[in-house]
Amino acid sequence: MNLRILEKTENSIRFLVEGVSTPLANTIRKIMLAEVPCMAIHDVVVIENSSVLHDEILALRLGLVPLKTNLDSYNLPEECSCKSELGCHLCRTVLTVDTLAKDEVRIVYSGDMVPEDPNIAPVSDKIPIVKLAPSQRVRLEAYAKLGKGKVHAKWQPVSACAYRYMPVIKIRSTNCDKCGNCVDICPRKVLAKNGNKITVANLIDCTLCEDCVEACSKEPPAITVSPDESSFIFYVESTGVLQVERVVSEAFKIYEKKYSDFMNNLAGIGDEPEKTV
């Protein structure tokens, strides 16, 4: 397997993986979506709530606020030694809200959530939670813990995670009349006309639509577009709870552990003595 980063921003990454099969590529995608853990609010203790929202709705809104995550400082609840339902300082942290609307309407934002651990704070402080009328108040304690997206979407660390085949474009110069129809029809400007020659200028952005093939007046077409079924272009976008590189690296670590556990279990089955009847 070879991996090459094509493009990277603060919260997104596009990379090329070569030498893998489609099932493996899909496995990595599903792990990033469903098994890379992150923090989210799971339990809420409402002390006072005179807003128009019921306690349950307020708790649901808090649960969907993305929280910055420090994977190195907290355990998954099911793996923590405390075995407590509410958790301990090793597997959960607390964020408190105490907001009073005095003489005018006040909106409670995610920035009003005060974290016990500064490293576990809302990704954005501009997420609206509830609107308070004058004299209304919200006081609560919100307990956040690690979880996985396969249990609930609030623990999903990515907002986008997709892959597609790496395209392969071949141009037969002996059959091409250099008319430029294939260049003009492509919305992504994958092809270019350089003098008396058609060239591939932007292979990565090709979506395998084959419009260029249909635009070719030759029979058979002078251009062919096909997928490389052992190479995939991944696009991953983080919600901000984890750095996007950490999401990708954790996914590969989880896959490696799953593979190792499977092979060890398989070897253990082979070592079992045969049963006689």
263 located within any domain: no
**97 and 173 share one domain:** no
- Element of type H or E holding 6: strand 2-8
Both ends of the chain: CA-CA distance in Å? 46
230 located within any domain: yes
Q: Tell which of 127, 154, 181 closes a domain.
A: 154
Phi then psi for 255, rounded to 5 degrees? Answer: -60, -45
Q: What is the pLDDT of residues 112-130, one digit of tens each?
A: 999 999 999 999 999 999 9
Q: How far is CA 179 from the centre of its chain?
A: 43
**110 and 121 share one domain:** yes
**70 and 132 share one domain:** yes
Q: Residue range 164-175: average pLDDT?
A: 91
Model pLDDT, residue 20: 93
Q: Tell which of 114, 130, 154 closes a domain.
A: 154
Nearest to 129 by CA among 207, 51, 77, 219: 51
User: How many Å apart are CA 107 and CA 109, to the nearest integer?
Assistant: 6
Give the residue numbers spanning the domain of 174. Answer: 2-35+159-236
For the cut 60, the answer to whether the pLDDT of residue 277 exceeds it is: no
**Residue 104: exposure state from Cβ atoms within 10 A (0-12, 13-18, ≥19):** exposed
**55 and 23 share one domain:** no
Q: Does residue 128 sit in helix, strand or coil?
A: strand
Nearest to 95 by CA among 59, 51, 50, 56: 59
- At 137, list the tokens: 């108040």
Nearest to 254 by CA among 76, 79, 32, 70: 32
**25 and 44 share one domain:** no
For the cut 60, the answer to whether the pLDDT of residue 276 exceeds it is: no
**Residue 23: exposure state from Cβ atoms within 10 A (0-12, 13-18, ≥19):** exposed
12 and 238 Cβ atoms separated by less than 8 Å: yes
**133 and 60 share one domain:** yes
User: How many Å apart are CA 217 and CA 220, to the nearest integer?
Assistant: 9
247 located within any domain: no
**130 and 48 share one domain:** yes
For the cut 70, the answer to whether the pLDDT of residue 272 exceeds it is: no
Q: What is the pLDDT of residues 58-79, one digit of tens each?
A: 999 999 999 999 999 999 999 9
Phi then psi for 119, rounded to 5 degrees? Answer: -80, -15
Q: Tell which of 154, 171, 201 closes a domain.
A: 154
Task: Tell me the CATH number at 90.
Answer: 2.170.120.12
218 located within any domain: yes
**26 and 47 share one domain:** no
The percentage of residues in the chain with a pLDDT greater than 70, rounded to a whole number, is 97
User: How many Å apart are CA 115 and CA 92, to the nearest integer?
Assistant: 12
Model pLDDT, residue 275: 57
**47 and 115 share one domain:** yes
**111 and 164 share one domain:** no
Q: What is the pLDDT of residues 83-120, one digit of tens each?
A: 888 789 999 999 999 999 999 999 999 999 999 999 99
pTM for the model stands at: 0.85
**206 and 165 share one domain:** yes
Q: How many domains does the chain have?
A: 2
Q: How far is CA 68 from the centre of its chain?
A: 14
- At 156, list the tokens: 């999903």
268 located within any domain: no
Task: Tell me the CATH number at 212.
Answer: 3.30.1360.10
46 and 58 Cβ atoms separated by less than 8 Å: yes
User: How many Å apart are CA 107 and CA 100, to the nearest integer?
Assistant: 10
- At 104, list the tokens: 């005018």
**82 and 141 share one domain:** yes
